[in-house]
Amino acid sequence: MMADKDGMQLAKNYGLDIPHHQNGYFVKGMEHVDWGMKDRLSRIFRPNTGKTVMLAFDHGYIMGATAGLERLDLAIEPLAPYADALMATRGALRSCIQPIHNKPVILRASAGSTVLQDDMSHEVVGVDIDDAIRINASCLAIQVFVGASGECQSLNNLVKTIDTGARYGIPTLGVTAVGKEMERTTRYFMLASRVLAELGAHIVKTYYCDDFEHVVAACPVPIVVAGGKKIPEYDALDLVYRAMQAGAAGVDMGRNVFQAQSPLAMLKSINAVVHDGLTVVQAYDLYQTEISESA
């Protein structure tokens, strides 16, 4: 069909008196990545707060049927709407999670030894990029064992994944593993987080520690804090609060959500701390209120 020349209107609103507005991108250190990667990061981190609450349920790749995750479909389906992102293995997603939640997927892309081995640091890249794209991953997660015998191999896994993902605009989350022989100090987490960022990780997941604001300040990309082992609900909310006050860009919580007395109430309360700025006392009150209202 030929264009209707007579119906065309003269373009005239060029806004010559208004300078072009250059928007600074809201995710730390990501001003110069490509549009598609920014789009994926904007799904993981809420643009209105710049923060994220990730729900981690990838534990089975090394731990098997973790307490609280015996039935992934029953445990995760009610929680998925209240998480900003889902961190999982491809097997768990395809077999147990409905593809209707429209949540960004942080895809566990490393694979290795189970908890039956003393040294779990010798991992490999366990997901091909083609399959990551098929599953519509918004991010690839690689575990890195800084200071362990498998350090170099795990760093190689990280940089290979960063390079591969970058070809398709998919960011990489570097996870700082803490093995039995590793120290858990501010100095260690500052070193490990900085190394992952220097090698190109777009997000770093690490553990909260003393002087955590120094760890955050020394890392040029967003840090999300791991929940770690199950602790009392009040203490877990306190951990989230202190991490956010120290400058974390969010949390990636697993066992402290799905092993809580009320996983849904816990996830809602974590969201309130991360996105709404609730204090620990306020968040714990919300947690108890959610439990009583659902009883």
Give residue-wise pLDDT tens across range 243-286: 999 999 999 999 999 999 999 999 999 999 999 999 999 999 99
Question: Are the C-beta atoms of residues 199 and 158 closer than 8 Å to each other?
Answer: yes
205 is catalytic: yes
pTM for this predicted structure = 0.92
73-101 pLDDT tens trace? 999 999 999 999 999 999 999 999 999 99
Burial of 252 (0-12, 13-18, 19+ CB in 10 A): buried
Whole-number Å distance between alpha carbons of 205 and 221: 10
Whole-number Å distance between alpha carbons of 126 and 157: 9
16-46 pLDDT tens trace? 677 766 678 999 999 999 999 999 999 999 9
Quick one: residue 9, left, alpha or beta (phi over 0 = left, psi -120 to 50 = alpha)? beta
Q: Which among 51, 205, 230, 268 is annotated as catalytic?
A: 205
240-254 pLDDT tens trace? 999 999 999 999 999
Whole-number Å distance between alpha carbons of 141 and 176: 11
Q: Which amino acid is at 93?
A: L
Instruction: Pick the closest to residue 148 from 112, 122, 175, 187 (CA basis).
Output: 122
| 114 band by pLDDT with thresholds 50, 70 and 90 | confident
